[in-house]
Amino acid sequence: MRTEDVRQHLTTPLTSPAYAPTVPRFTDREYLNVVYRTDPDALRAVVPEPLRIDEPLVRFEVMRMGDVSGYGPYTEAGQAIPVAFEGERGEYLHAMYLDNFPATASGREVSAYPKVMGSPALYADSGAVVGTLDHGSLRVATATMGYKHHELDRREAEEQIGVPTYMLKTIPGYDGLPRVQELVRTRITDLTVKEAWTGPARLQLFQHVLAPLADLPVLEVVSASHILTEPVHDYLLKGVAS
């Protein structure tokens, strides 16, 4: 294979890449969000400077991706932490667990999303919206919310989904030291909310050494939302050296 051909590949194996060479477009996303209050000391231990924490809040989310170009449908779950940076309010993506390997591989070091493999699910059950996350055979998170109890203002729903997000991009060199270490910012655009709901919610997190969501313990559920969207797209807007 010629050098110029090798340079056209973003990932290996060269003849069967880990993910498709395409910019993914997301259609028909469904969200379950539960915002909860946690231990401020635990938050400070995981959020990197120069991001700033105002309130000790965490958003546990489960997202069902109905159709994603290049990857197909999949589900992911994780934790996002409200932060501020240079006067702008956003969220720091702390952890994301996916049931799709190509989406996991393409979202990590290249795009800076903190993705690892897991088994999340989002479904309705006996009058409740249910979001779960398993690691292997063990349950690590269960979220429940009343199914479509109260309509949520769609502008508020768009703001929830379109909030700026920050991730830590770290790529090591062969000496084991970071070759790239940046704070990067993304934002979802081209977004249409089809439905948005809120209601009573509960969240349980279970201790697991390889999926430590419970290190940010649930002290109080603050709010919850169930949102269905039409096409959305992620754009990398800028990188800030850390």
Q: Which of the residues are catalytic? A: 115
Alpha-carbon Rg for the chain in angstroms: 18
Confirm if 63 and 225 have CB atoms less than 8 A apart.
no
Confirm if 144 and 132 have CB atoms less than 8 A apart.
no
Confirm if 185 and 238 have CB atoms less than 8 A apart.
yes
Q: What is the DSSP letter of 232?
A: B
Q: Which residues pair with 133 in a beta bridge?
A: 120, 141
Alpha-carbon separation of residue 15 from 3, 18, 115 (angstroms): 14, 10, 24
Q: Which residues pair with 98 in a beta bridge?
A: 76, 117
DSSP reduced 3-state for 53: coil
Confirm if 161 and 194 have CB atoms less than 8 A apart.
no
